[in-house]
Structure 1
Amino acid sequence: MLDILIIGGGPIGLACGLAAQKAGFNFLIVEKGTLINSLYNYPSTMTFFSTSEKLEIGGVPFVTTHTKPNRADALEYYRRVALSNNLPLNLFEEVTGVKKTGDHYEISTTKATYEAKYVIVSTGFYDIAVNLDIPGEDLPKVKHYYQDPAFYTLQKVIVVGSSNSAIDVALETWRKGAEVTLVVRGSEISERVKYWVRPDIINRIKEGSIKAHFNSNLKAIRETEADIETPEGLITIPNDFVMAMTGYKPNFDFLKNIGIDLSDDGKFLPHYNKETMETNLNGLYLAGVVCGGMDTHLWFIENSRIHADMILDDIKRKQNRS
């Protein structure tokens, strides 16, 4: 039997593994995709807001020549951390169920069944896109994930959203030769946009290089065009691709199915002890951005790294009492 099973092989899951290893526990990390799966699926051109030291885990230095690390830097850093510390990792193995049995948990996956005294859920929020819920959203030309801007050269691209991901997509595809129309629900570009990027998009809009519709919503998508509801009325424009950068959300069904209480106010905030990160289920913990429910701007790698030590401190206290 394992002491701890960690669900999720992202930065915070690895941080929990490092803390468990340091404490001498027998543990396993199970990840449904590749190592650092969410980061792997980030845009190839992505640059972090933070400096490298704020992304470090387990006290392992994150050395990079860039002031702010990019996706490739982060993938290499976390890979080296995992491999150099020989963290036990099962990749491409999805957890399908977690059930309390007596004094331990039984964890079912697509490949095996495990028993563990404690479970840490660190599954992030990048798996499920927030839908627009409009006609045509299921067309192949509608994308909720974005990899490389070169694909959109000479294409008419609608970008929905005004936060970092949407603005990056708008600027990068425009610079590769796309005709970009930005659809923003609010009255301005989000204040959360990276401080060195926000003036860029504002200036591109002012000069007319990127068309922007504020206080507007995408209403329908068809093969060669799309409808936008603007303050001046409904307009229809030619369109090749729609980049719906509308955000992502944790797998709430998974959390509910394993018995974690969620708030009923639409935010789906999971119940947990803010001092120990333990949920309403004894011995089952949450770590990382999954703790924020629908508020995906609440937790990041930078401020949730501490969850690993908080959880392991509580597990050690429980072990000492027993």
Structure 2
Amino acid sequence: MELYDVLIVGGGPIGLASALEAKKNKLKYIVIEKGTVANSLYNYPLYMTFFSTADRLEIDEIPFITTKAKPGRQDALEYYQGIARAKGINIRPYEKVINIQKSTFFQVETSKQIYFAKNVIIATGFYDIPNMMNIPGEDLPKVRHYYTEPYPYAFQNVVVIGSSNSSVDAALEIYRKGGNVTMIIRNQEISKSVKYWVKPDIENRIKEGSIKAFFGAELLEIKPHSAVFKTSKGEIKEIENDFVLAMTGYLPDFEFLRNIGINLKGDCLNPHYDKETMESNVKGIYLAGVVCGGKDTHLWFIENSRIHAKQIVQDIVSKNN
């Protein structure tokens, strides 16, 4: 039986940071990733630009070299996958963790085999499960919860739900490729979290009427060739529609967390963990990165959760001494 000091679930930036920290401390480790390295970033919109500067996205003090003031998706993929190659990270891509059980050691069942580990780090992010609207027609083929590029939506009637960065980027890009864009927004204004260099652009496009926006509105039903929504005044409107981009956010895999024994609390389903060590209520299972925030997926991101890797590995090493 091969026994690892630590098994890391998730090969994104924080999972890689945890692997580098384990390697520096001479721990026997392995990373299990259900997709490619930095899979969540791979699934981001093709032309996405980060809010953060490159130095804020660095892990293990490895310089993130780019000529751009704000790196994009491809820059980040080059950086994180390059680190995995250059540092010889022990990672198993395209292998999904199905369950984790504890006896003497943790038994980790994946889609390919079973691993044994003394400790487990969960660094799975939140990009896998869309936050569903639960309205009629949401299962129609024309409804998309992920956006990659604008070209499929050229010359189409597109409804974009929300006013976050992903919604705004999609609306602007599709409009500029000839799409007829209508935004349905629950709030009374564009989100304050939208990138500061993009916010004036979307506000001006709405003001001039190039992009239609209904604030304080709610999508009620999606039909094959139309969409029905309620305005802020309570009026019911039905408009012609070819595609709906439901940019309603994403959630961690709460069922997986529950199944491995993690306690979730409150309306946001915040996982239980020690803020100093990041150890969960299950001794030997640690949480790292965005997954720590539960439904509040804006609480943790790369630049403020990089430290989790060091906190966790320091605790594991201290217990071994």
TM-score normalized by the length of structure 2 = 0.98
Amino acid paired to 1:135 = P
Q: Aligned partners of 2:37, 2:11: CA distance in 1, in Å?
A: 6
Percent identity between matched residues is 56
Q: What are the Cα deviations for residues 244-264 of structure 1, in whole angstroms up to 9, with x where unaligned?
A: 00000000000000000000x
Aligned to 1:67: 69
Equivalent positions of 1:291-302 (< 5 A) are: 291-302=292-303
Cα offset for 1:124? 0.2
Aligned to 1:27: 29
SS at match of 1:116: strand
Aligned to 1:280: 281
| CA RMSD, 1 decimal | 0.5
Question: Match for 1:78 among 77, 80, 105?
Answer: 80
Equivalent positions of 1:1-322 (< 5 A) are: 1-102=3-104, 104-232=105-233, 233-263=235-265, 265-320=266-321
Amino acid paired to 2:279 = E
Amino acid paired to 2:32 = V
SS at match of 1:272: coil
Q: Aligned partners of 2:305, 2:150: CA distance in 1, in Å?
A: 31
Q: Aligned partners of 1:152, 1:94: CA distance in 2, in Å?
A: 32
Q: What are the Cα deviations for residues 18-38 of structure 1, in whole angstroms up to 9, with x where unaligned?
A: 000000011000001111110
Cα offset for 1:231? 2.4
Q: Aligned partners of 2:312, 2:320: CA distance in 1, in Å?
A: 12
Amino acid paired to 1:302 = E
Identify unmatched segments of 5+ residues in structure 2: none
Amino acid paired to 1:281 = V
TM-score normalized by the length of structure 1 = 0.98
Q: What are the Cα deviations for residues 186-224 of structure 1, in whole angstroms up to 9, with x where unaligned?
A: 100000000001110000000000000000001000111
SS at match of 1:106: strand
SS at match of 1:44: coil
Q: Aligned partners of 2:69, 2:232: CA distance in 1, in Å?
A: 41
Cα offset for 1:151? 1.3
Cα offset for 1:160? 0.2
Identify unmatched segments of 5+ residues in structure 1: none
Amino acid paired to 1:117 = K
Q: Aligned partners of 1:142, 1:151: CA distance in 2, in Å?
A: 13
Count the aligned residue pairs: 318
SS at match of 2:109: strand
Cα offset for 1:275? 0.3
Q: Aligned partners of 2:149, 2:198: CA distance in 1, in Å?
A: 18
Q: Aligned partners of 1:181, 1:144: CA distance in 2, in Å?
A: 16
